[in-house]
Amino acid sequence: MDFQKEKQLVRDFYAALDNATGDAITETMERFCAPAFLWRGYHPFHEQTDPKAVADVFWKPLHGALGKLQRRMDVFMAGRNAIDGGQSTWVVSMGHLMGLFDAPWLGIPPTGKMAFLRYCAFHRVEADKITETAMFFDIPHLMMQAGLQPFPPQTAAHLVQPGPMTHDGLLFDEQPALEGEKTLKAIDFMVKDISNWQSKLSLEDELRRSWNEDMIWWGPAGIGATYTIERYAKQHSGPFRAGFEERKFNGHVAKIAEGHFGGFFGWPNLTLKPSGGFMGFPATGKAGDMRVIDIYRRDGDKLTENWVFIDLLHFWNQQGLDVLGRLKTVPHK
């Protein structure tokens, strides 16, 4: 299957939504999305269950805050969901929503300058309608652009993250099926291999089984991005493993691959109990859920780039830290 019909539907949806204002946003959501639409979003939005609710609680306020909103996509792909045996088709896009930050959003003070909201969205398409969406966006990164520090200093770097080094992530045209199968195989090998946390190999050698030496892990604000296996082990993978004494994998809702790109999301992917030190926070003794989107680029037989979206606001809120709530008590200039 070439997924061209589903891709075009999502592209038409984006074209209408990104240029809409006011009630036209609601009309666009209702025109492209099914009445029983399920939308899964980053904290504090969580689940919304009809198109109008998504327009009212998310898109209208965002358009009001980021004027002249522009979608800058870096990855666009589609595929059959490997989790449900290929029964559903999902279209995925990733990039930034850019605009002029001229009004407050979620208590974040405006800057009057360009701002970038990093996002990734999975859309399930059925019978010419979008029936489900999982959309994660890096709110802490937007806070950092406004001069705020939502978390302690991170172990890696966080920038306005670029798309694939190869600049070929917009898969608007049909892709060879074999390439998608290779990408899915590489993702599955990595997920299975990483679950063996008691490996006798060094962390770096374990990672080399799945990743190319010049890998880049584009992590969320609060953790940061890191380059090469050695630095990834030092700046994220090692601290992550050391920071949680109990880890439970809950599975994924959708997983697809097309061409050299693929990814998945869960709701939640992981349930973890902090044992102290991760992201600079002490142990809490409380289990918390991590909702994660991962997007991958394969080079050869291994993975080489990984864009990661983690709902850290939700996770730390479960630990007793209300990052957005603190904005209400902090005066801004």
54-67 tens-digit pLDDT: 999 999 999 999 99
Looking at the predicted structure, is the pLDDT value of residue 273 above 80?
yes
Contact 171, 76 (CB under 8 A): yes
Alpha-helical segments (H) within the chain: 4-18, 23-32, 51-54, 60-65, 139-145, 177-194, 203-208, 229-232, 238-242, 312-318, 323-327
240-262 tens-digit pLDDT: 988 987 889 999 999 999 999 99
85-102 tens-digit pLDDT: 999 999 999 999 999 999
Architecture of domain 4-145: Roll (3.10)
Span 22-34, mean pLDDT? 98
Q: Using alpha carbons only, what angle is made at residue 296 by residues 211 and 243, rounded to the nearest 5 degrees? A: 65
What is the CATH topology of the domain spanning 177-324?
Answer: Nuclear Transport Factor 2; Chain: A, (3.10.450)
Kindly list the domain boundaries of the chain, sorted by start residue.
4-145, 177-324
pLDDT score for 197: 59
pLDDT score for 329: 59
281-333 tens-digit pLDDT: 988 889 999 999 999 999 999 999 999 999 999 999 999 999 999 887 555 54
Residue 59: strand, helix, or coil: helix
pLDDT score for 66: 98
Q: Using alpha carbons only, what angle is made at residue 151 by residues 146 and 156, rounded to the nearest 5 degrees? A: 95
Integer CA distances (angstroms), 102 to 25, 106, 107, in order: 19, 13, 13
Distance CA 75, CA 245 (A): 35
Intrachain domains 4-145 and 177-324 with the same fold: yes
Residue type, 150: P
pTM, whole model, 2 decimals?
A: 0.95
pLDDT score for 196: 65
